[in-house]
Amino acid sequence: MTRILAVDPIPEPGLALLRKRPEFEIVDARDVNDDALGNHMEEAEIILLRGRNIRPEHFDRARKLRFISRHGVGLDKVDMAQMQRLGVTVAVTADANYLSVAEHAMMLTLAGCRRVISADHATRNGGWRSRIDTPTHELSGSTVLLLGFGRIGQTYAGLLSAFGCRISVYDPYLPEGATLPCGATRVQALSDVLPEQDIVSLHMPLTDQTRNFIGADLLSRFREGAILVNTARGGVVDEAALVGALDQGRPAIYATDVLAKEPPQPDDPLFSRSDVIVTPHSAALTQQGKLRMALGVAQNVLDFVDGKLAPHMIAFTPE
């Protein structure tokens, strides 16, 4: 029997796909405490991981572990150096949620352009005349800079293109000479182009290199009135520096689905601001996206065991 440890809630369609294989034993560890989880890890050969933080010492006890199937695409919960040492392959559901996240990024972009949250609040509280003074603007014709140009960034760029936006891309991992879709142009130096951007949208993973990437220096170069959109990870933005930048109107709006600390504290300083739009890390969680991720996390297990895991699903494989 192959023991599969589900450490997070995985939607039933994915688990049902795994239950069809009689050689799998699925252990539900969603509600076990941290100490008990360590005991379960000792016998796990495969882990289904969604968002739970597993202590490094628990992984060190997982001597039988061969594979982690990630429900989603972020890898900030997985220490790749440790996976290398343990000989564990890590896969993601690469094709499952990029459309949902790209649409959410577009929603946040439009909400920022038209000041939707503050307009809703004003309307409900007698501020009908706020429509005259609120500085909204059209997305059409805007200059938009994408930081990161993977599947989500490319899909978001396609949506922007339909609005007639002028799109630039910053991604040091793009191959030299890569053809960019949607009429996008590539930039090399952020400091040169940031003052020209109406909108900056983040699509980069959280790594040691990208943590607090959007810090005080880059924020100081934002155009007054610009919008910063984040559907990547909260830690990519230095939130302490961001508060000061928002006070200066550079950017004028921060529209984000992610926060540096999740779940956040009720007194998070971003929550008291009318120039911040925030959603609860829900961009990928459309009904369609959840179904695709559930099926994808299970299919990756099947493909790994059968020796046919698709290369684009592999986030890490030990040397």
Q: Which residues are catalytic?
A: 233, 262, 281
Cβ contacts of 104 within 8 Å, gap of 6 or more: 231, 257, 279, 282, 283, 284
Alpha helices in the chain (DSSP H): 12-19, 34-41, 56-61, 80-86, 98-113, 116-124, 130-133, 151-162, 190-193, 216-219, 239-247, 287-305
DSSP, residue by residue, 260-296: SSSSPPTT-GGGG-TTEEE--S-TT-SHHHHHHHHHH
- Helices 12-19 and 287-305 cross at an angle (nearest 10°) of 20
Closest CA to 135 of 279, 255, 249, 273: 249
DSSP state of 196: G
Backbone angles phi, psi at 186, to 5 degrees: -95, 140
Q: Residue written as tokens 């997305």?
A: 139
User: Contact, 72 vs 293, CB < 8 A?
Assistant: yes
Residue type, 269: P
| Residue 150 DSSP code | S
